[in-house]
A and B are shown apart, each in its own frame.
Chain A
Amino acid sequence: MKILVCITHVPDTTSKINFIDNNTRFDTTGVQFIIGPYDDYALARAIELKESSGATVTVLNVGLAETEPTIRKALAIGADDAIRVNADPTDSYFVACQIAEHAKGFDLVLMGRESIDFNGGVVHAMVGEMLGVPAISPVMKLDIEGTTVKMTKEIEGGKEMVEASLPLVAGCQEPIAEWKIPNMRGIMSARTKPLKVVEPKAVDKLIVAQKFELPPPKGAVKMISADNVAELVTLLKTEAKVL
């Protein structure tokens, strides 16, 4: 079985978000980049399937050269080889077209439920549509028997147990697998694993980011004495108007 895992290269979850150049560009100063946390779950499940059933795992990222350390980390965690589509991933439709271009021939395409920078939550559904295969997200559990895939999907207010056939696309989330940390041997071998760089297919961008904005700063917190909770109730009713 051939598994493709699509990973993003995103600011670490503790990063302070800032913009520069008149709010048109993300400020990378002091920011550490990681594999998207949901993509990390997808990768961890792929490695488990590799260990239990001898699958091969390819990772794919649409990104510029600066994403290569993140791709190498995925190789260190246990992926066999990697593809980087050399393009700035600014639009989910554009990204989906690039992924679909390389996903043919894979039995299972695992992604995260969403990227934590763009937060579209849509690339898996778009790729599924482009490939003409089911796309299921967010998946909390995924087991394969032959060509049948049994999944638990989170829905608002509960869970849905679903079944579909390979090939398919799944957007993963906790607790599908435990995040894996690369060990020394993994890190060493990752250096020589194949990482193929390909140029993007020409696609018209359908959405273009013009500028960015930060939320207005939070006003100062109003502290209330623990002996006077009734005052909190009054404030919630009359000032915040949320009760």
Chain B
Amino acid sequence: MTTLVFIESAESKIKKTSLEAVAYAHAMGGNVVAIALGTVDKSELDAVGKYGASKVLHAADIKLDHPVIQVFASVLIQAMQQESADNLILANSSLGTPVAAKVAVKIGAAFASNVVELPNTSAGFVVKRSIYTGKAFSFVEMKSAKKVIAIKKNAVELKETGGSAPVSILSPTLNDADFNTKILSTEKATGEVSLPEANIVVSGGRGLKGPENWGILEDLAKVLHAATGCSKPVSDMGWRPHHEHVGQTGVKVAPQLYIAIGISGAIQHLAGVNSSKCIVVINKDADAPFFKAADYGIVGDAFEVVPKLTAAIKASK
């Protein structure tokens, strides 16, 4: 069995979630070939073998620096053909998921997204998916010979296998007609750490009273190297940018630690955070529903507790 893993990169750096996809493919067994598209640092490509790939392909054409879904799908199919790959595995993302869907349709493979665990192959090929916005899971049997899987963050633990893999250049045919969307420009979100991928998230709600009070939250985020998030009303009122809004209709996060400050814990907000490993809630109301979903809670005024917490973390370093 050969599995192709799509390695996604941003600013020449490989995404951690893509290394998780390599580790997932390795844990499934068989031969793992990874492929990166566009400009990527050589040292980053050299490191992919450490997570279990036996070979790394690099389609380095600069035309692939701006990802067009149709083009990426075509390149992955060419790589699957070259390597006689049975499966394609990648990380769920705004690029990976639609690319995977296209590849699956083209090659007649079953496709499962939001997969959270390794497959169970004791009877058929069954994967566990996250459904109902993290409120439940389903076990689905993938019935085709070829399979395409998009994994959710933290589906496997990232371990080094001690291996190494040679990097070779792939020169796929790029068809002009596949460049069917033109990327006019990109805008980077403010904030140093990207919210969907962050390991720690510090999030604020209407309890913070106004945008001018976000300083205490940003200070805490800074000492933790955390991304900042918020509840929906906070972004609706324009206190914070829309892409920071966490929940059912916003970003779904899956960090190690989620710190919720002045957020009541409405079910729609919880839908975006219930994949977090550990949840800390700071709220002045002891009856706030969020405490029921929390691992640790502090009842208190955010304006007093948060600066104290920032100081305590600084002191503990």
Least Cβ–Cβ distance between A171 and chain B, in angstroms: 8
A222 and B296: CB pair below 8 A?
yes
Chain A residue contacts of B250, Cβ below 8 A: 174
A243 within 8 A of B: yes
A212 and B142: CB pair below 8 A?
no
A243 and B257: CB pair below 8 A?
yes
B169 within 8 A of A: no
Q: Which one of A117, A223, A236 has the greatest number of beta carbons of chain B within 10 Å?
A: A236
A206 and B295: CB pair below 8 A?
no
A221 and B296: CB pair below 8 A?
yes
Chain A residue contacts of B300, Cβ below 8 A: 226
Q: How far is the CA of A218 from the CA of B289 in the complex (A)?
A: 13
Q: How far is the CA of A219 from the CA of B185 in the complex (A)?
A: 46
Q: Interface with A: B30-38, B51-59, B107-115, B155-163, which one?
A: B107-115
Which residues between 295 and 314 of chain B lie within 8 Å of chain A, taking CB atoms?
295-301, 304-305, 308-309, 312-313
A20 within 8 A of B: no
B237 within 8 A of A: no
Chain B residue contacts of A126, Cβ below 8 A: 101-102, 104-105
Least Cβ–Cβ distance between A227 and chain B, in angstroms: 9
A104 within 8 A of B: no
Which residues between 138 and 169 of chain B lie within 8 Å of chain A, taking CB atoms?
138-144
A158 and B188: CB pair below 8 A?
yes
Chain B: interface size category = 35 or more
Contact of B278 among A175, A204, A240 (CB under 8 A): A240
Which residues between 4 and 52 of chain A lie within 8 Å of chain B, taking CB atoms?
11, 13-14, 17, 19, 37-38
Chain A: interface size category = 35 or more
A229 within 8 A of B: yes
A215 and B113: CB pair below 8 A?
no
Chain A residue contacts of B174, Cβ below 8 A: none
Which residues between 195 and 243 of chain A lie within 8 Å of chain B, taking CB atoms?
204-215, 218-219, 221-226, 229-230, 232-237, 240, 242-243
Contact status of A206 and B143, CB under 8 A, knowing A116-B133, A160-B186: yes
Closest chain A residue to B93, Cβ basis: A156
Chain B residue contacts of A140, Cβ below 8 A: 242
Closest chain A residue to B268, Cβ basis: A13
Contact status of A157 and B295, CB under 8 A, knowing A38-B249, A125-B97: no
B280 within 8 A of A: yes
A 107-137 binary contact with B (CB < 8 Å = 1; else 0): 0000000001111111011101110011111
Q: Which one of A137, A212, A225 has the greatest number of beta carbons of chain B within 10 Å?
A: A212
Q: Could you give 19 example pairs across A and B, Cβ below 8 Å?
A: A19-B136, A118-B131, A119-B133, A158-B186, A162-B183, A174-B250, A204-B143, A206-B109, A206-B143, A207-B142, A212-B139, A213-B128, A218-B293, A221-B281, A226-B298, A230-B316, A232-B298, A240-B278, A243-B316
Spell out A's residues near B (CB within 8 Å): 11, 13-14, 17, 19, 37-38, 92-93, 96, 116-122, 124-126, 128-130, 133-138, 140, 150, 153-165, 173-175, 204-215, 218-219, 221-226, 229-230, 232-237, 240, 242-243
8 residue pairs, one from A and one from B, having the closest CB atoms: A226-B300, A125-B98, A157-B194, A125-B101, A206-B110, A122-B101, A242-B257, A161-B184
A93-B104, A221-B291, A240-B277 known; 11 new pairs, CB 8 Å cut-off, are A13-B267, A93-B110, A119-B129, A137-B94, A158-B243, A162-B182, A204-B143, A212-B138, A214-B135, A222-B295, A229-B309
Spell out B's residues near A (CB within 8 Å): 10, 69-70, 73, 92-95, 97-102, 104-106, 109-114, 126, 128-144, 180-189, 194-197, 200, 224, 242-243, 245, 248-250, 256-257, 267-268, 271, 274, 277-278, 280-281, 291-301, 304-305, 308-309, 312-313, 315-316
